[in-house]
Structures are given as C-alpha cells and as structure tokens.
Amino acid sequence: MITGTSLTESEDFISKFDDKKTEADGATIWVIGALDANIRAYIGDNTTYYTPSIEGDSRIYMRNATRNTWAVKFGLRGLRNFRDKDDNIVAYKTVVEQIGGEIYNVLAPEILDMIPLEIMSELGNEIISRNTISAVVKKK
C-alpha cells in the first residue's frame, strides 16, 4: 500500500546545528511541510542538468544549493525563535509568487537571505524528503 503525501500537515524541526535541543531551551523551530507536485517538478526540472558526451561519459548534474533554497522558500511553513544578527526575533512572513499559472505564498526573501547555508541545506533536504517514499514502504 502506498500512502499519499499530505500538503496540509507540517512538522516542527530542530537543526542538528542548533546548540539548544528543545523549544523550551530556546532552540529555533523550523516548521516544514511537503511540496506540491508542481513545485517539486519545477525544482527538479530547474536544478538538474544533463550533459551529453560523444565519448560516452555523459553526466547529470544537480544544483543542490539552488534546490535546497527553493525547497525552503516553498516548504517552510513557519518558524519560532529565529533571531537576526542583532538578536531580535524574526517573524515569519510570506510573499505571493506565481509559478506555472499557480499562486503560492512563499517565504519572504529577506528571511530566506538570513538563513545560514548549512541550515538551508539541512532544511531543504528535510523538505524534499517529505515527497519521497519512506524506506518502510519501499519494496524489497
């Protein structure tokens, strides 16, 4: 049996890089969710490149930093206890963006720009993983 991906559910996530381990201790909480099929395809199509070769060593390249940034832009549903460089709490904010005829509320660029590279990578991978079949349901 295959279970579909829920686009309405979200999950609190604490980074492995956070020196605090719980929200009560002051950890930053990243609220993440799955991407819809159109955005997942958009990200995949725009971050994967095929380079043909007549010598037979054709390659596929992934632009992982861009993939993760776009995953966070579209898949971060909220945040708590995230602070700017002056130690002020950053409020979650979205802006409207149109992709392929659909309207999306996405993370505001000024917040996206504050997220450190390592956190962006970790969050992007977590968000993308929401759209994959878990090891439990994969056929052996």
**Is 70 a member of any domain?**
yes
Q: What is the average per-residue pLDDT within 46-67?
A: 87
> Which residues span the domain enclosing 84?
10-129
**Is 2 a member of any domain?**
no
Give the C-alpha distances (Å, rounded to integers) separating 2 from 18, 33, 40, 53, 127.
34, 19, 19, 38, 19
Q: What is the average per-residue pLDDT within 19-31?
A: 96
pLDDT the model gives residue 58: 82
**Is 96 a member of any domain?**
yes
**Is 134 a member of any domain?**
no
Three-state SS at 33: strand
d(CA 71, CA 122): 11
Tokens of 133: 């079949």
138 has a pLDDT exceeding 60:
no
61 has a pLDDT exceeding 90:
no
Total of domains in the chain = 1
pLDDT the model gives residue 135: 44
Q: What is the average per-residue pLDDT within 91-115?
A: 96
**Is 5 a member of any domain?**
no
140 has a pLDDT exceeding 70:
no
pLDDT the model gives residue 95: 98
Q: What is the average per-residue pLDDT within 90-119?
A: 96
108 has a pLDDT exceeding 80:
yes
**Is 1 a member of any domain?**
no
CB atoms closer than 10 angstroms to residue 33 = 19
**Is 138 a member of any domain?**
no
pLDDT the model gives residue 133: 67
pLDDT the model gives residue 136: 45
**Is 3 a member of any domain?**
no
pLDDT the model gives residue 1: 72
The model carries a pTM of 0.87
pLDDT the model gives residue 55: 82
